[in-house]
Amino acid sequence: MSAMTDSAKQAAVGGCSGTVGGSLASSGVIDGAIRTIVSEVSSRRAMITDVRGPIDGLKEEYAALMARAAAVRGRGLLYPYIGSGIGHGALVELADGSVKWDMICGIGVHFFGHSDPLLVEASLRGSIGDTLKQGNLQSSMEPHAFSEVLLAEAGKGSGLRHAYLSTSGCMANENALKVCFQKHAPARRVLAFKDCFMGRSLMMASIGDSHEGRVGLPIVADVDYMPFYDEVLAERMGPARFIDLSLMHLEQYVHRYPGQHACFIFELVQGEGGFNTGRREYFKALMESCKSHGIAVWDDEIQTFGRLPRMFAYEHYNLGEYVDVLCVGKMTQVCATLFTEAYNPRPGLLSGTFVGEGVSFEVGRRVIERLRDGDYYGENGRIERHHAAFRREVKSLASRHPGWFPEVAGVADVAAGVGGMMRFTPLGGKKEKIQAACKAIFEAGVVLFYCGHGPYHLRMLPPLGVMKEEDWPRVFACIEAGLAKVAP
């Protein structure tokens, strides 16, 4: 099977027609070899059909793999997870032969699940370039072709015109911050939301609002924190009053440090912070205030990109006109900092040896094209339908086991989040219990994780690109079995 056009193949290798590289890209021998490999992967993945326990006799071998991983890392893995190298959609096989539902997907990276034939094909095409790494100084067309596809989507609802690529979300954010600082030099303060997360560099850990992420580190950023939209509080006091008070809060900072704020970092749906959602009026009011004070609006969509009922979070909230700088990562495979013409930095500010690998560019480009061409978005799109199915399952679980879902202060609904960012809050949202639940659910056949800084929630970033709506009861049967082991 080959779903790629000749021009797509040429982007993969980089040659124009008439060059040796171009002839390699459209070689029938390569096509045939790729078809053979993809068909072999497809027939093997078809053998994976349901959750199962480890294969008899592999226990010791698996324990030895875990010990090797722990030795090189200097600490054990959080989950006993070492993949075998194959899966089937939302199901993944581990090296002990067990099969689990993957509802976290490398923290949101594998939207098309495991061993997806089209993405295996894209990886193979991306792997035959003359070098593995593509750099800023020398590259084939692959990074530029990736950026074109991304920018074409971003350009539909925002003024974002250019992209600089990098190999981690954190680095994309570092670049975004530099772009904002340079534009507004000598301003050096940053506005950020309570509970935001932006990555693990010293600078991003300084801005990110997580105590645990910066134990023992010097704080290298001057940050002023704003409240994130608080649904429960806003309901109690009235959303308009909540917005007014927050605007006052922002004005106080601007008054205290006039001309010193370079940017406000917006994570429109908070990821690590707890899958917290906001409201258009709230973000709009803050962004308008930023505009009036000459403060850049920087939108971190590294966790949200592709997963919401619209491709970009700023589209979901209809805020594209305000965004100056934006970062994507995770699902895109390649991370990128996008900016408007006005924020295009001076030469020399952004660079680095690698921008990524051919495989990442090809797979990333296919991911964005599939999102663009599929039926994912919109009110009745696939993402909304999955979210509704997820909520139904949580509600049904809670009605069967009300004792597992005591009320939690500040949590309006046991099932929350938006689109493909799903969270639910059993066990009072207590950290130790939620962590124990993650492990028990893993044992019962579902890989998920937690989020929040208290209360804590179980979180899922499922592979909605390949998951079927009828999979949800099967996933929740395992979750129920796992929770039963830790619930009171």
Residues engaged in binding ligand PLP (CB under 6 A): 107, 168-170, 173, 197-199, 267, 271-272, 300, 302-303, 329
- Pick the closest to residue 325 from 146, 149, 152, 164 (CA basis): 164
Measured from the CB of residue 173, what is the shortest distance to ligand PLP in angstroms? 6
We find the least distance from the C-beta atom of residue 5 to ligand PLP, in angstroms, to be 30
CB of 208 to ligand PLP, least distance (A): 8
Closest CA to 332 of 461, 147, 475: 147
> Residue 483, SS3?
helix
Nearer to ligand PLP, 13 or 198 (CB): 198
Q: Work out the angle at residue 148's Cα, subtended by the Cα atoms of residues 338 and 301, and round it to the nearest 5 degrees.
A: 35
Q: Who's near 351: CB < 8 A, 6+ residues apart? A: 136
Tell me whether residue 123 or residue 175 sits nearer to ligand PLP (CB atom): 175
Residue 22: CB minimum distance to ligand PLP, A: 34
Q: For ligand PLP, give the closer residue by CB, 121 or 272.
A: 272
What is the three-state SS of 399-454?
Answer: HHCHHHCCCCCCCCCCEEEECCEEEECCHHHCHHHHHHHHHHHHHHCEECEEECCC
Query: Measured in whole angstroms, how far is the alpha carbon of residue 24 from the centre of its chain?
Result: 34
Rank residues 95 and 192 by Cβ distance to ligand PLP and give the closer one.
Answer: 192
Q: Which is nearer to ligand PLP, 82 or 109 (CB)?
A: 109
Here the tokens at position 191 are 């506005």
Q: How far is CA 1 from the centre of its chain?
A: 29
CB 183 → ligand PLP: shortest distance, Å? 21
Min CB(175)–ligand PLP separation in Å: 12
Q: Which is nearer to ligand PLP, 34 or 198 (CB)?
A: 198
Cβ pair 369, 8 in contact under 8 A: no
From the CB of residue 76, how many other CB atoms can be counted at a distance below 10 Å? 12
Q: How far is the CB of 7 from ligand PLP (least distance, A)?
A: 30
Point out the residue whose Cβ comes nearest to ligand PLP: 169
- By C-beta, is 305 or 405 nearer to ligand PLP? 305
Shortest CB 327 distance to ligand PLP, Å? 7
In sequence order, what are the residues at sequence separation of 6 or more whose Cβ sits closer than 8 angstroms to the Cβ of residue 469? 385, 386, 389
Min separation Cβ 469 and ligand PLP, Å: 26
